[in-house]
A = this chain, B = another copy of it.
Amino acid sequence: MYIGVDLGGTNIAVGLVSEEGKIIAQTSTPTLVGRPYQAIVEDMAVCAKKVMEEAQVTVKDVKSVGIGIPGVADQTEGRVIFCTNLGWADIPLRVEMQKYLPLPVYIDNDATVAGLAESYAGISANCSSSVMFTLGTGVGGGIIIDGKPWSGAHGIGSEVGHMTLVFGGEQCTCGKRGCIERYASATAIIRMAKNAVREVPESAILTMAGGDPNKINAKIVMDAAKAGDPTAVNVFDQYTEYLAAAINTVTTFLDPEMIVLGGGVSRAGEFLLNAVRAKLPNYLLFKALPSPRLELARLGNEAGIIGAALLGRAAN
């Protein structure tokens, strides 16, 4: 068994996970960003002990602790290089955790961890290589090669959301322009929809948002597109075109066995999947050859705990 910790800006979710990637017990506690990191790590450990107790196991039954962080880790040293949302920089996370739990501690980026979870216990199980796109407020990426998570030689890789898609395009929060995140995130859908309703205020998007453009979210746009609102259909078409191009760029470079769509936007389900699948062939370099399968993630929010836990399994 493994302990998995999903450290988010709002909650710390902790679970006890089986060798097969099933959650045996789980709990969570608020992160309360702003506290000293020692207090946050102590809460992780308290949660870990709680799930072990619930499952009636001891530290001896647990092989390792894995922690998924919303930032960049130094896996060798077991440190958090930084987590912008938590205000963390250079935190000795492994050493701090080992004060409570005398176990190997593995740390990796949360999007990478979600990709790992899918590749062991989700849709990409049995794929030796896969890339997961986490389509949320931003766009995260998780790369699995030969069954192991790949974050790069310096830990700065798998940042799918910040690959350039439109050279000189929309300004990104990262300082660059034209990043995939500016075109394939929920934030991008909202931006496109706001622009669209400015031209077509009678769109169902605006009605569904109670007449307030600031209340438009990705789900509203998707729902309006599903219902056939022409403005929403246009936004959806534009969005899926960008997403198909982004997926193709990863295919053209890495050609993994499978590409997995996760995150809030992927809750649009088959509607999104079918639209993107229909566009992918136009982008393929070798149209007659097999190419990566595109699928929806399966594990939802549990991917964070499961993937973090399985970092220990992937490392050995």
Contact = CB atoms under 8 A, between A and B. Distances in A.
Contacts of A174: 285
A72 interface: yes
Interface string A263-302: 0000000000000000000111110011110000000000
Interface residues of A, number: 54
B164 A257 contact: no
Nearest to A74: B289
Contacts of A153: 127-129, 255-257, 292
Contacts of A284: 156
Main SS of the interface on chain A? loop
A153 B257 CA distance: 5
A81 B290 CA distance: 11
A159 B285 contact: yes
B176 A283 contact: yes
A167 B252 contact: no
A152 B251 CA distance: 8
Interface string A4-41: 00000000000000000000000000000000000000
A275 to B, nearest CB: 17
A206 interface: no
Contacts of A255: 151-158
A291 B292 CA distance: 28
A21 to B, nearest CB: 22
Contacts of A155: 255, 289
A245 interface: yes
A228 interface: no
A157 B255 CA distance: 5
Contact of A156 (B143, B154, B160, B285): B285
A284 B157 CA distance: 11
Q: Considering the complex of A and B, which 7 residue pairs feature the smallest CB-CB distances, nearest first?
A: A152-B255, A157-B255, A153-B257, A163-B249, A166-B167, A154-B290, A159-B252
Interface of A: 72, 81, 127-129, 141, 143, 145-146, 150-160, 162-169, 174, 176, 178, 183, 242, 245-246, 248-257, 282-286, 289-292
28 contacts: A128-B153, A141-B253, A145-B145, A145-B150, A151-B255, A153-B255, A154-B257, A154-B289, A154-B290, A155-B255, A156-B252, A156-B285, A156-B290, A156-B291, A157-B253, A162-B285, A164-B245, A164-B248, A164-B283, A165-B167, A166-B168, A167-B169, A167-B178, A167-B245, A176-B248, A176-B285, A250-B253, A253-B254
